[in-house]
Structure 1
Amino acid sequence: MTETNRLTEQSNGRGGKKNVQKNGYQNIKDYISDKIRSRQWPPGHLLPTETELATQFDCARATVNRALGELAEEQIIDRRRKAGSRVRDGRERKANLKILFPCREVEAMGMRHRYVSLSREVCALPTLLLGPDSTDGSQDCVQLAGIHYADEEPFQYEEAWIRKDLFPSLSIDDGRAVAPCLTLLQKNPFYHGSIRITVSKATQGEARYLGLRTGEPLLNKEYILTDGVGGTPVALMQLHYKPDYSIASAF
């Protein structure tokens, strides 16, 4: 018996099975969720098409689309164009990690932010900032290092590399010495990119800036910011945190 026939049988009440309620995207969503949680539809199972579900529940395809869309957002099913929807493998989940630049991160904790510049110099472009069409690192960038304070306590040590060709007004002699994130946001309030999280031992310099002992563990976040999705790399930011720093997310 096909999945469509099984749905029809249930909606007609044949075989002593429970009737399926019609209309309402929530009813459709609950029906699919129950099938998955009861393991009647195991991981990888192909769901009925939108048209089949719309016919079965006597509703518009937009209603079905909303139900499937929410299930996809909740990582219960995978939706692929022209390939249909399948039950996800629950052993793999995606977490939603909120990205906060240092100044905003401190303010979000209800603390006062202050940035102290340690160094600013011109250097060759790091390999990680080379675009797909670049062949060498002959282009210049501005390398910045500084400490972010939260209520006058060292919170984070930051090293940043910003492309000089994209920020021609950025100078090593700029007495204002604002935080790199503020310089970046003045040009573009919305960046894309990648994040890498690592753990390392504090060097002598990192330990001194953060009030730690050399060799104590650090949590590090590395951002590569791009101008648009898959666009030109704009900046590299390496953020170093004390051992008591933590990251929380939801999935």
Structure 2
Amino acid sequence: MHAPAIPSLANSTADRVIEILLLFSYEKPAWTALELAQKMDMPRSTVYRYLGSLKNSQLILEDGDGSFRLGPKIQVLASVGRATTSYLGLAREEMLKLSDRFNETVLFNELVDFDVVTLERIESRQRIRLASTRGSLLPWPATASAKLFLAYASPEKLSQVWSLSRPHAYTSSTIVDKDALLYELKKIAHEGYAYSDEERDEGVVGVSVPIITGHEVKHCLSMVAPKFRVGAQDLEQMRDALLETAKVITRHRSD
């Protein structure tokens, strides 16, 4: 018989700190330590310790009367949240236009560590659709978005990828030779877009373009489709439309 799991002290502490923050509201924007201790059924000394950590991070401020209210760092986080929501909202609007025009799957991806995470996906309305495939730089980049992110990666990121990666042939079309892949990445960085022709999944083609903010590429726009449904000219039109859409989103992000 296994012994019961012991809750993590770190997680327990973090949970209580979050509970304190979530108590602040329009109805009650300020709390005293005594009120918090009574509300949360905790010793006042423990509440003061949590409040001290929040004060040090400028997440709360202490007023002259001994009460606490939300601090300036919360306002910064709220602004970031609003900007991100607006950013994704605009991206979705533009993606819907692409979907209406081409009737193929449109993706808005973000690079998180070594994974390509889809933040927004507009499905094709065609009867035959593509299964969702999670992209990644590891063990080997093969999707258009993965190759694109790697083409724009910093030297440090590239070094990490090469130290952890290993050639993996997902299909017979996967570029498994490192020198050939490096040549492909240089071409992508020069031209500003990436293609994938059955390199990750049989019968699937894709094109991806970067969303450039500052000197980084953390997001990209992509379209994927069954190969039997799109030809070379279709892919070029999709690429050009994605590039124009990326410009619109980038302008909005910089406003």
Q: Which of the five TM-score ranges fits, normalised by the shorter chain?
A: under 0.3
Q: Which has the larger radius of gyration?
A: 1
> If each structure's helix is expressed as a fraction of its own residues, which one has the higher value?
2
Q: TM-score, normalised by structure 2?
A: 0.27
